[in-house]
């Protein structure tokens, strides 16, 4: 039973959320201040939101028939969990994310104020977005809005939100931090796009119209390259503007992303290639984490 919930939580995706929290915390430490308590509560909230999103994705895709017995990696499709068990997991993870988020706000902002309630509303929107991605009557992930959602929540909300909770300021440094925030958002979209490239045949058959389905395989691959290179360019520009570095250290990552992209481009959407797509998906997450580490080391 516990193993089934762990499978549904898809722990391999967690570094994606943690990378955004790390970037926001590093920016806070670089420009203003840093609190480990705020960082740890941010990590807790991000993990719970990511797990909630993964549970909702497992549930939504199963209910809509997108996932069937051909997906042994999914808890509901493989029969590891029942619908009632997954519904309970959704409720529990949503409540835990809410509790963790409230603790974060009290730690960072103190007693309720306008900023407190604004962040509380943003937290509720984040929970709703995690659930509505594939679950519910009109999931936006089935209508090509998933990419924009990932860009907003893994980039702007996560990075700038944590930066503000660490620093308490909206000034020139905050707006400069929008560049790495956008970069992390673009890299997050890149992870989603690899996933969607893999699933083009099944998604097309089941009416899940992702942006990759709309673009088609070839153009979605070009889109993938644009996402990664744009993100790295933003990081170079940010480092040149905000630090003593010329930002060229980021260019060391370009060959790694290019090798990954060339391997991705050589694949065909066939069942026998699913394992390779999954490996490339994990590699992209690790590349994103490496990008954050190198950027952080350059700053600190």
| pLDDT band, residue 253 (cuts 50/70/90) | very high
- 274-284 tens-digit pLDDT: 889 989 999 99
Q: Report in angstroms the alpha-carbon separations of 283 from 21, 29, 185, 218, 232.
A: 19, 28, 17, 21, 17
Q: Report in angstroms the alpha-carbon separations of 28 from 34, 54, 161, 284.
A: 6, 29, 10, 26
- Every domain of the chain and the residues it spans: 2-299
Would you list the DSSP string of 21-53? Answer: HHHHHHHHHHHT---HHHHHHHHHHHHHHHHHH
Beta-bridge partner residues of 209: 143
| 295, 239 contact by CB (below 8 A) | yes
More confident residue, 182 or 62: 182
CA distance 108 to 41: 10
- 134-176 tens-digit pLDDT: 777 788 888 889 899 999 999 999 999 999 999 888 889 999 9
Would you list the DSSP string of 147-166? Answer: HHHHIIIIIIIIIIHHHHHH
pTM recorded for the entire structure: 0.91
């Amino acid at each position: 039973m516990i193993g089934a919930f762990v499978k549904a939580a898809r722990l391999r995706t967690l570094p994606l959320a943690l990378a955004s929290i790390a970037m926001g915390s590093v920016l806070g430490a670089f420009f203003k201040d840093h609190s480990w308590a705020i960082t740890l509560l941010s990590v807790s909230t991000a993990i719970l939101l990511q797990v909630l999103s993964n549970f909702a994705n497992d549930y939504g895709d199963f209910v809509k028939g997108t996932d069937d017995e051909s997906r042994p990696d999914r808890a509901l499709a493989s029969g590891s969990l029942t619908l009632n068990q997954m519904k309970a997991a959704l409720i529990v993870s949503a409540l835990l994310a809410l509790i963790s988020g409230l603790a974060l706000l009290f730690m960072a902002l103190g007693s309720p104020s306008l900023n407190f309630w604004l962040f509380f509303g943003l937290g509720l929107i984040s929970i709703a977005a995690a659930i509505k991605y594939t679950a519910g009557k009109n999931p936006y992930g089935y209508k090509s809005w998933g990419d924009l959602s990932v860009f907003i929540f893994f980039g702007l909300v996560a990075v700038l939100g944590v930066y503000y909770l660490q620093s308490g300021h909206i000034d020139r440094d905050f707006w400069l931090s929008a560049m790495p925030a956008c970069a992390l958002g673009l890299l997050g979209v890149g992870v989603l796009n690899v996933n969607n490239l893999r699933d083009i045949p099944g998604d097309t058959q089941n009416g899940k119209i992702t942006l990759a389905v709309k673009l088609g395989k070839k153009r979605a691959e070009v889109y993938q390259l644009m996402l990664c290179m744009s993100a790295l360019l933003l990081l170079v520009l940010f480092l040149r503007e905000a630090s003593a570095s010329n930002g060229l250290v980021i260019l060391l990552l370009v060959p790694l992303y290019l090798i990954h992209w060339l391997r991705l481009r050589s694949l065909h959407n066939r069942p026998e290639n699913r394992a390779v797509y999954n490996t490339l998906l994990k590699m992209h997450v690790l590349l994103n984490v490496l990008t954050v580490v190198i950027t952080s080391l350059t700053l600190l």
